[in-house]
Amino acid sequence: MQKAKSSGKYLRISSQKARRVLEQIKGKKYQEAILILKFMPYRACKTIIKILESAANNLVSQYDTTINKNELIIINAFANNGPKLKRFQPRAQGRAFPIHKPTCHITIELKNK
């Protein structure tokens, strides 16, 4: 059994919103997951497609064989919290209102049947 994984770090997406998409593709075949992601209306989908394609290419380059992408299965897909970008919004009477812009780390793991 051949495995490969790929990850995207410090992505400007909330980990909660990324997990919502990743739950839909976990356990699916590679081609089916790409199709699902292309027609989902979420912003995280574009980034997840790139990471998924990277994982498939890692599998091909690691084992140096011609791998049929129809046989690849997503065994693990998760999003962890990254550091928050801290910004301030000016408010009335000279106050400052904190804004926390979240980042996340997405990891996808594939295996060959």
**Predicted confidence band at 109 (pLDDT cuts at 50, 70, 90)?**
very high
Q: Which CATH architecture has domain 3-112?
A: Alpha-Beta Complex (3.90)
* pLDDT of 96 over the 80 cut: yes
Mean pLDDT across the chain: 93
The answer to whether residues 2 and 62 touch, using CB atoms and an 8 Å cutoff, is yes
Note the pLDDT tens digit of each residue in 15-30.
Answer: 999 999 999 999 999 9
Q: CA–CA distance from 53 to each of 36, 85, 90, 110 (Å)? A: 14, 28, 42, 10
Higher-confidence residue of 63 and 81: namely: 81
Q: Burial of 1 by CB count in 10 Å (0-12 exposed, 13-18 middle, 19+ buried)?
A: exposed
What is the reported pLDDT for 67?
80
Residues forming a β-bridge with 111:
3, 73
Percent of the chain with pLDDT over 70: 99
The structural domains of the chain, with segments of one domain joined by +, span: 3-112
Q: 7 forms bridges with which residues in the sheet?
A: 107
Query: Which neighbouring-strand residues pair with 76?
Result: 109
Stretch 74-100: mean pLDDT: 95
pTM more than 0.85: yes
| Per-residue model confidence as pLDDT tens digits over 31-44 | 999 999 999 999 99
